[in-house]
Structure 1
Amino acid sequence: MKLQHAQAVALMVLCAALWSIAGVVTRQLEEARSFEVTFWRSLFTVLSLLVILPLWQGRGVFSRLPWRSGYFWLSGLCWCVMFTAFMVALTLTAVANVLITLSIGPLVTALFTWLVLRHRLPARTWVAIVLAGIGIAWMYGHQLTVGDPNFLLGSLVALCVPVAGATQWTLVQKSHAEGLDLDLVPSVLLGAAISCVLTLPLAWPLQAGTHDVGWLALLGLFQLAIPCALSVVCARVLKAPEVSLLALLEVVFGIALAWLGANETPQPSVLTGGAMVLGALVINEWLGWRKQNV
């Protein structure tokens, strides 16, 4: 699948919308908790991709997997960390807290591409990193004074997601920069499979009923399998920081859905800190776009 830039942008917006349903769906669960939620979602992601990948790339897709490539295994490990940490964090703290923590992804990605790919970061990006850091500190500091026992743990678990995501997008860019024609879409399947294996012992004995399993099957197909595979395709066309920035729409969509669909009203400090983070990112990208089009 070869995309034009505008098509890749539109697909990433769709991916963000699909990713954003995780919070509101998780709040509909009755019995499944923590690692069991992750296990079922990852399992249905595996089953979905076992059907989707052959239909999309042909029956020989599995025989072409780059088993000997370090990029393939590292990419799969990144997806595993993202799948596992995200759902565990949602069971520990509020949806808005998790999503705002995820929102630092573009800045972490920019730092990683600076360190690994030697991409030069303009002054505006460094300013955005500082402002976003202040916003996160404001949110975290206020939540800690409120005395939420799970806030810090949930936020630290959620922090694993943007770090793994930044590593993932940097790997995609680095492999292409080295002239390697690797198909990293199946690494989503690898990541989900690793997540299943790691979380099953922690989730046992399984307690989810048919109600919960149905919701988690929906997440596995529509919130993971489809958008994650499409996002890897988009990353071949878009620059790594651009991918992360568009993925930020998940924060806006996700908080709104949790607010409207699960009555989970975000704390004022979360909205203030989140606005500072998102504002810094938007201004950074707008200045970059303006400079390119002057």
Structure 2
Amino acid sequence: MTLRHGQAVVLMVAVALLWSTAGVVTRQLEQAQAFEITFWRSAFTALSLAVILPVWQGADVWRRLIGSGAALWLSGLCWAVMFTAFMVALALTSVANVLITLAAGPLLTALVSRLFFGQRLPPHTWAAIAVAGAGIAWMFAQQLGNGGWLGSLVALGAPLGGAFNWNLVQRSQREGQGVDLVPAVLLGALLSAAVTLPLAWPWQASAHDVAWLAGLGLFQLALPCVLAVVCARVLKPAEVSLLALLEVLFGILLAWIGAGEVPSPAVWQGGALVLGALLAHLGWTYRKETFS
């Protein structure tokens, strides 16, 4: 699947919307606890991808998976960290608090790109990250004041894993290694399920809970994560992280409407800065590519 830049941007917005459903769905669960929630979601993600990947890429996807190099396995580890940290954090603190922590993604991605991958970022990207960072800092300080520091600390694993992941995807494409990192999502789900299974026992989830978590596995993880990897082949790592920030705004809104978690004024104020930085960056990038 090959996308133009504009198509990748639109698709990444849809990915962010699907990702944002985790918080509101988690609040519908009756009995499942943190590690069990993570296990079931990851297990259903792996099951979904075991069906999707052969249909999409052919039966030899399993042979390619076994014979792939270190980049694919490192990406799978990044996905596992992202999957596990995010769901455990949702059980420890509010949806808004977790999503605000995820918004640190562009800052971490830029630092990882510069420190570990030697990639230079244009000034307008740094400016957008700085403005978004100001919004994040404002929201984050208010949330920590409500005692959400532990959940925020756990949630930080998600953007940190994502920062390395987007850079791995981009570097593999730039170096022409021919490594397909899409199956890394499957590896990540399997690793996450394997790690959390012992911690989830004995199971307490009701049939109602399992049904919701099956939906999360397919529609909130399997499909959007595969599409995010496809987008990351076209978009720069910092762009992917900036677009992924929309998950924060979408998720807070859905949790408000569907679970009654009313965000504070600081959340909306900081969110406005984040969204403004995102739109300004995309507008500048589009203008530069159109008139250059």
Q: CA deviation at 1:277?
A: 3.3
Q: Who is 2:173 aligned against?
A: 176
Q: 2:277 aligns with which of 277, 280, 284?
A: 280
Taking the TM superposition and a 5 Å limit, the aligned residue runs for 1:64-103 are: 64-67=64-67, 69-103=69-103
Q: Who is 1:143 aligned against?
A: 143
CA deviation map 1:150-186 (0-9, x unaligned): x111111111111111111100111122220011111
Q: Unpaired runs of 5+ in structure 1?
A: none
Change (3 A) 1:127 1:234: closer
Q: Which amino acid aligns with 1:135?
A: G
Question: Conserved in 2, the CA contact under 8 Å of 1:103 and 1:278?
Answer: no
Question: Conserved in 2, the CA contact under 8 Å of 1:83 and 1:192?
Answer: yes
Task: Please give the secondary structure, in 1, of the residue aligned with 2:36.
Answer: helix
CA deviation map 1:50-109 (0-9, x unaligned): 111111111111011154511111100000011111111111111112112212222322
Task: Please give the secondary structure, in 1, of the residue aligned with 2:64.
Answer: coil
Q: Who is 2:164 aligned against?
A: 167
CA distance in 2, matches of 1:209, 1:96: 26
CA distance in 2, matches of 1:223, 1:55: 19
Q: Which amino acid aligns with 1:43?
A: A
Question: Conserved in 1, the CA contact under 8 Å of 2:93 and 2:151?
Answer: yes
Question: Conserved in 2, the CA contact under 8 Å of 1:38 and 1:84?
Answer: yes
Taking the TM superposition and a 5 Å limit, the aligned residue runs for 1:50-69 are: 50-67=50-67, 69=69
Question: Conserved in 2, the CA contact under 8 Å of 1:67 and 1:73?
Answer: no
Q: CA deviation at 1:121?
A: 2.5
Q: CA deviation at 1:261?
A: 1.0
Q: Who is 1:205 aligned against?
A: 202
Q: Which amino acid aligns with 1:171?
A: L
Change (3 A) 1:283 1:8: closer
Question: Conserved in 2, the CA contact under 8 Å of 1:3 and 1:234?
Answer: yes
Task: Please give the secondary structure, in 2, of the residue aligned with 1:59.
Answer: coil
Question: Conserved in 1, the CA contact under 8 Å of 2:24 and 2:258?
Answer: yes
Q: CA deviation at 1:278?
A: 3.3
Answer with 178-187 or 250-259: which moved more: 250-259
Question: Conserved in 1, the CA contact under 8 Å of 2:20 and 2:248?
Answer: yes
Q: Who is 2:235 aligned against?
A: 238
- TM-score after normalising by structure 1: 0.92
Q: Which amino acid aligns with 1:173?
A: Q
Q: CA deviation at 1:270?
A: 2.2
Change (3 A) 1:15 1:144: closer
Count matched residues: 291
Question: Conserved in 1, the CA contact under 8 Å of 2:246 and 2:275?
Answer: no
CA distance in 1, matches of 2:270, 2:13: 23
